Amino acid sequence: MDDFIMKLVTETDILARYGLTAEEYRDALPAAIEATRGRMSASNAGRRRFLLDMLEALQQAGLVDSVTKPQYGDDTVYRLAVPGFGNVAIIQKGCPDGEHGSVRWAVPGWARETYLWWLCDSMKSEPGEHVAKGIQRMRSRLLDPADRTVDGVIFHNHLCGTPKRLCPKQDRAVQIGAQLVPPPCVYVTPDSDTQATDLNWDGRQQRVFPGILLSLFGIDEQALPAYVGHVGFQRKSGEVRTTISARFGFGRSTTYRR
């Protein structure tokens, strides 16, 4: 990509279409790159602020004892101290459509449960399609019994519940900061097992953090199964099938299988 950008200076016909000479392109390129970096940095800061507001709302509600922010230069992993349970890790990622967002992560040794949180603002696909692509990329890690893997994935960002990304759970939205925020989409992933034929295929895997997170939105233990999705696998005839179920209220769900 770097070579392509630099070689554009020789493509005078292309530059002419945009009203530029080679000299103008060469002179403007450094400033354009810096401006792009600035926009990306601002976007990342906004995503971090949204997630931190969510996690601090859990602390303010007394649902977690503390929220430890990532140190500069480290992976973006938040540490939540859950009373009576232990530490939960939230690994911040962007969109799950590449290796960085779906495969490149490590579960901290201190975490009892770990979740990938996809702060994806891409409008190229529906949220369910983004999740399905991410799970397919993660599948080998989720199925590897030697890999200490995540306990679930969460898809949620500042667009959720807005006209750009309407949410069927908007009736459960609460005020967080300056925004009315609906409950996140949470998917529980299975424990790996080399012997089992079904790995959370029916969604029976239980986790602690989803109930804590969704209680912030008034979803109690009785209603919880109607709002927590799951990822499952089934070994059959030498192949592995995948199921992803999204739940957004009593009697309302969608299921993807492959």
Residue 35 reports pLDDT greater than 60: no
pLDDT in tens, 95-143: 988 777 888 899 999 999 999 999 998 888 889 999 999 999 999 999 9
The per-residue pLDDT for range 187-215, each reduced to its tens digit, is: 999 998 777 889 999 999 999 999 999 99
pLDDT of residue 227: 97
pTM: 0.81
Alpha carbons within 13 angstroms on the beta-carbon side of residue 40 total 7
